[in-house]
C-alpha cells in the first residue's frame, strides 16, 4: 500500500530514492519523504530528511540542490494513523535524530507503546504508529543496530516492512519483514531496498524476497539475512520477472488505457501451454494436486478482496456449471474473523493480483493453520501469497500499474475457466463439452479485440452518464458478478456512486430510486434468462430511468430503443469474462470525461497491505 525504497553504495542515494518512489506512485499515497546520511563526518546534521504532502514531484522540488550522501531510505505514505500532514510523513526519526525509520503496515500495539514511551519522557512529533519504532531502537542499549532492531521488534505486534538507518552505523541499513513485502536488490558494489520490484528494475535484475519474520543487514557489498532469534538464514538472489519497458506508458495517456489494450495479449499468455486438446482439458501442473486429490474435494471456496472477490464469484459459477461441485466466493477480509470451519475436503482458492493483499494473505494463514488445502491465482511471482499457498495458477498478465485492475482481472477469469474445465473433466464433463469450453477459451483474445472496435461508442455513452450523481448496475446469475465489478470500477475512478443489484431484486426495493437522473447499466446475456432481464429493463424504462444494456447480438433490444453495447457471444459459462470488458471502458471514459486522475484514484491503493 505504501512504498519503501533504500540505497547504499558508491553513488548519491537521493536520485535513486526519488526515482524509486516515482515508480511506486501507483501503489497510492498522500505524502512522501527521504532521509540521507551525509558523507561529511564533520557535518552538524549527519542526516538530511525532507518530507512533503502530495506527489513525489513536490518532494523532489523541496530537496537541497546538493545531497551527496550514499546511504538513504525513502517512503510514500498512505494514511492510517493521523492525517496526511508533513509531521506524519516518513521517514520518522528518534528524538535525537540518530535513528531514521520507514515502515509499511500497522503496529497494533502502538498506543500502549506510545503511552509507555511518553511516561519515560519521550516527546512524539507525529500521530503515527511508526514513530514508536524509531524511539524503541534509539533507546536500546544493544551493542549493534541489528540487536537494537530485534529488541524493538520484540515489543511490537502487528505487520511491518521496515528499513532502519543509524548515524552510528552509516555503513548499513537494517530491514525487517512481517506481513508486508520487502525486497533486496543486488547490484555491483551497491544494494537496493524496495517494497515492490518496480522500483528496482532500472538498476538490477537480481533480488532477494524476505520471508515473514526475517531481517537483513544490507551494506554496499552485500547482505546478511537472519531470523528473529538472530540465527542466520540462507537467501539466494532470484531473477526479477519485470522489465523496464513493462512499466512505461508507451504513448498511452494512462496506464489503465494501456493495460486494457494489453488484455488480448495477456489472455493469450495465460492460456499458452495450458490447453490440452487431446483430452479436452487444461494442464495445471502448478496446482500440485494429482487427479485423485482433486477428485476428493467436495466443495470449492474462493476468497478475494474487491475486484478479486467479484471475479471469484464468476469463478464459483463456472466451477458449479462445469464441474458440478458446490462452489462459492467470499470476501477474504471477513473470512478469518467469523471463525470459519476449515474442511479437509474443501479446496480453497485465493485470488490476488499483487500476491500481497494483506486480508487475503491472513486468510491463507488461517486455512493452513487449520489443515486446509489452499491454492492461489496470483499475478506476481515470488509474492507473499504465491510463496505461502500449496500451489496455484500464475496469471501472467504482466505488471499492472493502474489502481483499477483490468488485464489481471480478465486473466483471473480465464484462470477460473481453466480450473473449472480441469475439475469438470476429472468428473462428469464430457469430452465434447470440454472441447467446447476449450474452443471458447481460445476465442476470447480475439473477441476482446472486437470489443475495442466499439470503444468510440462506449466513450460517447460514458460521457452521457458521467454527470449522474448515482448509477445502478444490474445483472442476474452469471451477470450479477459482472454488474458488481462494473459498479466497483465506475465508483472507484469516476467517484460517481454506483451500486450493483441482482436484476430480480430491483422490484424488492431499489426500484424506488429510479428517476430520469438515475442511469441503469443492465447486463443482459443471451441466455435462458434474457427475456426476464428484458422485462426488468422495461420496468426501469417505464419509470423514465435512462438505461444502457451490455448484451449479445442475439438479444432483441431494438424494440426498447435503449443504448446497447454489444459484446461477442462465447460459451455461456465464459460470457462473463467478455461482458466485463465494456464496463472497464465505461468507467475509464467516464473518469476521463470528469477530469479525474484515472491511474491514482483518491484514497485508494494498488496493493492493500494493511487491514
What is the set of active-site residues?
2, 606
Can you tell me the distance from the alpha carbon of 234 to that of 229, in angstroms, rounded to the nearest whole number? Answer: 14
Helices (H), 370-521: 384-388, 407-426, 431-452, 455-465, 479-494
As beta bridge partners, residue 565 has: 550
**In whole angstroms, how far apart are CA 537 and each of 513, 546, 608?**
14, 10, 37
As beta bridge partners, residue 499 has: 472
Q: Which positions ≥6 away from 596 have C-beta within 8 Å?
A: 493, 494, 495
Chain position carrying cell 462465447:
570
- List phi, psi (to 5°) of 335: -55, -55
Q: Which residue from 582, 570, 609, 562 is spatially nearest to 406, judged by alpha carbons?
A: 582
Q: Which residue from 21, 175, 48, 166 is spatially nearest to 100, judged by alpha carbons?
A: 166
Q: Which residue from 106, 41, 100, 99 is spatially nearest to 73, judged by alpha carbons?
A: 100
Q: Which residue from 347, 433, 419 is spatially nearest to 390, judged by alpha carbons?
A: 347
Can you tell me the distance from the alpha carbon of 9 to that of 460, in angstroms, rounded to the nearest whole number? Answer: 52
Question: E strands within 332-421?
Answer: 346-352, 373-378, 391-394
Helix/strand/coil percentages in the chain, nearest 5: 40, 20, 40
Q: Which residue from 70, 59, 121, 58 is spatially nearest to 95, judged by alpha carbons?
A: 121
Can you tell me the distance from the alpha carbon of 386 to that of 382, in angstroms, rounded to the nearest whole number? Answer: 6
Strand, coil or helix: 139: helix
Tell me the three cell numbers of residue 6: 533504500
The sign of the CA dihedral 409, 411, 415, 417 is positive
Q: Which residue from 527, 547, 551, 526 is spatially nearest to 536, judged by alpha carbons?
A: 547
Can you tell me the distance from the alpha carbon of 297 to that of 299, in angstroms, rounded to the nearest whole number? Answer: 6
As beta bridge partners, residue 73 has: 6, 35
Return the number of other C-beta atoms located less than 10 Å from residue 502's C-beta.
17
Q: Which positions ≥6 away from 254 have C-beta within 8 Å?
A: 402, 588, 592, 598, 599
Do 241 and 256 touch, CB atoms closer than 8 A? no
Do 164 and 90 touch, CB atoms closer than 8 A? no
What's the DSSP call for residue 12?
Answer: -
- List phi, psi (to 5°) of 225: -100, 150
Amino acid at each position: 500500500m505504501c512504498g519503501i525504497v533504500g540505497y547504499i553504495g558508491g553513488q548519491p542515494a537521493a536520485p535513486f530514492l526519488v526515482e524509486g518512489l516515482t515508480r511506486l506512485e501507483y501503489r497510492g499515497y498522500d505524502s512522501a519523504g527521504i532521509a540521507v546520511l551525509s558523507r561529511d563526518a564533520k557535518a552538524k546534521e549527519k542526516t538530511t530528511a525532507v518530507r512533503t504532502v502530495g506527489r513525489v514531484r513536490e518532494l523532489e522540488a523541496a530537496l537541497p540542490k546538493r545531497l551527496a550522501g550514499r546511504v538513504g531510505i525513502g517512503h510514500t505514505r498512505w494514511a492510517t494513523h493521523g492525517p496526511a500532514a508533513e509531521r506524519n510523513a516518513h521517514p520518522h526519526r528518534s528524538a535525537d535524530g540518530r535513528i531514521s525509520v520507514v515502515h509499511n503496515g500497522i503496529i497494533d500495539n502502538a498506543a500502549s507503546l506510545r503511552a509507555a514511551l511518553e511516561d519515560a519522557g519521550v516527546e512524539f512529533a507525529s500521530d503515527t504508529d511508526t514513530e514508536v519504532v524509531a524511539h524503541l531502537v534509539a533507546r536500546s542499549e544493544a551493542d549493534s543496530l541489528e540487536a537494537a532492531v530485534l529488541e524493538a521488534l520484540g515489543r511490537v505486534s502487528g505487520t511491518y516492512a521496515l528499513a532502519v538507518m543509524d548515524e552510528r552505523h552509516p555503513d548499513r541499513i537494517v530491514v525487517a519483514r512481517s506481513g508486508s513485502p520487502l525486497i533486496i536488490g543486488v547490484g555491483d558494489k551497491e544494494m537496493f531496498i524496495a517494497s515492490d520490484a518496480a522500483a528496482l528494475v532500472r538498476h538490477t535484475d537480481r533480488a532477494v524476497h524476505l520471508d515473514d519474520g526475517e531481517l537483513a543487514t544490507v551494506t554496499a557489498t552485500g547482505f546478511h539475512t537472519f531470523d528473529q532469534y538472530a540465527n542466520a538464514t540462507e537467501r539466494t538472489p532470484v531473477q526479477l520477472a519485470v522489465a523496464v519497458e513493462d512499466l512505461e506508458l508507451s504513448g498511452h495517456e494512462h496506464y489503465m488505457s494501456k493495460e486494457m489494450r494489453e488484455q488480448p495479449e495477456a489472455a493469450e499468455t495465460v492460456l499458452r501451454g495450458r490447453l490440452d486438446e487431446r483430452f479436452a482439458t487444461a494442464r495445471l501442473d502448478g496446482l500440485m494436486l494429482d487427479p485423485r486429490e482433486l477428485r476428493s474435494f467436495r466443495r470449492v471456496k474462493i476468497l478475494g478482496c474487491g475486484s478479486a472477490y467479484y471475479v471469484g464469484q464468476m469463478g464459483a459459477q463456472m466451477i458449479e456449471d462445469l464441474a458440478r461441485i458446490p462452489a462459492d466466493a467470499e470476501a477474504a477480509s471477513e473470512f478469518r474473523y467469523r471463525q470459519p470451519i476449515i474442511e479437509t475436503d474443501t479446496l480453497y482458492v485465493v485470488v490476488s493480483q499483487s500476491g500481497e493483499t494483506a486480508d487475503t494473505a491472513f486468510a491463507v494463514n488461517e486455512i493452513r493453520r487449520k489443515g486446509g488445502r489452499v491454492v492461489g491465482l496470483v499475478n506476481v511471482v515470488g509474492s507473499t501469497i504465491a510463496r505461502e499457498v500449496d500451489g496455484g495458477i500464475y496469471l501472467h498478465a504482466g505488471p499492472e500499474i493502474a489502481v483499477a485492475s483490468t488485464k489481471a482481472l480478465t486473466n483471473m477469469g480465464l484462470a477460473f475457466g481453466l480450473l473449472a474445465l480441469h475439475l469438470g473433466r476429472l468428473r462428469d464433463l464430457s469430452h465434447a463439452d470440454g472441447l467446447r469450453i476449450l474452443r471458447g477459451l481460445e476465442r476470447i483474445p480475439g473477441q476482446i479485440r472486437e470489443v475495442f472496435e466499439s470503444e468510440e461508442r462506449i466513450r460517447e455513452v460514458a460521457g452521457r452518464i458521467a454527470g449522474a450523481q448515482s448509477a445502478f448496475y444490474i445483472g442476474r446469475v452469471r451477470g450479477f458478478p459482472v454488474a458488481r465489478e462494473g459498479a466497483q470500477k465506475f465508483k472507484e475512478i469516476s467517484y460517481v456512486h454506483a451500486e450493483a443489484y441482482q436484476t430480480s431484486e430491483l422490484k424488492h426495493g431499489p426500484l424506488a430510486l429510479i428517476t430520469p437522473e438515475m442511469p441503469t447499466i443492465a447486463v443482459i446475456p443471451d441466455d435462458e434468462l434474457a427475456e426476464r432481464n428484458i422485462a426488468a429493463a422495461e420496468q426501469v424504462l417505464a419509470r423514465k430511468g435512462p438505461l444502457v444494456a451490455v448484451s449479445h447480438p442475439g438479444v432483441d433490444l431494438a424494440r426498447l430503443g435503449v443504448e446497447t453495447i454489444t459484446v461477442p457471444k462465447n460459451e455461456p459459462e465464459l460470457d462473463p469474462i467478455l461482458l466485463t470488458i465494456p464496463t472497464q471502458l465505461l468507467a475509464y471514459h467516464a473518469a476521463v470525461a470528469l477530469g479525474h486522475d484515472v491511474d491514482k484514484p483518491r484514497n485508494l491503493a494498488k496493493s492493500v497491505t494493511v487491514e
